Amino acid sequence: MSDPLVEAALAARARAYAPYSRFAVGAALRTAEGAIHAGCNVENAAYPEGTCAEAGAIAAMALAGGRHITELVVAGGGTAPCTPCGGCRQKIREFAAPETLVRMVDAEGRLLLRATLAELLPHSFGPDNLAGAGA
């Protein structure tokens, strides 16, 4: 059974630039309109200047005019799920509801973990917290 979101995450992972850690990650998201956007991690010799795959996928979505994530897949390597880092969880929250499904798959696309954004980022702060705050 083919899953375009998993396939996009795996294809992005194959393009990752990870010469230092050798830990390639790909991410793909689906928007409310059904569009799929992907990103890969891009490392940098100045280590904190690298970017995560999830951030790349979100940037691609924003560039295309998307503003709402309905589902996300993160593809990492190894047997442990590659969950989004804390910063990426907050970036995802900017464009996704707490009930949004996040799936973590291995390098072959096998499901390792599925969780809602609320499970990954409990008691989150998002755009709805600013409603009526003069923002």
Quick one: how far is CA 101 from the chain centroid?
Answer: 11
CB 67 within 8 A of CB 39: no
From 7, 33, 54, 119, active-site residue:
54
CA atoms within 13 A on the CB side of 34: 0
Size (the chain), residues: 135
- Answer yes or no: 119 catalytic: no
Residues annotated catalytic, as ranges: 54
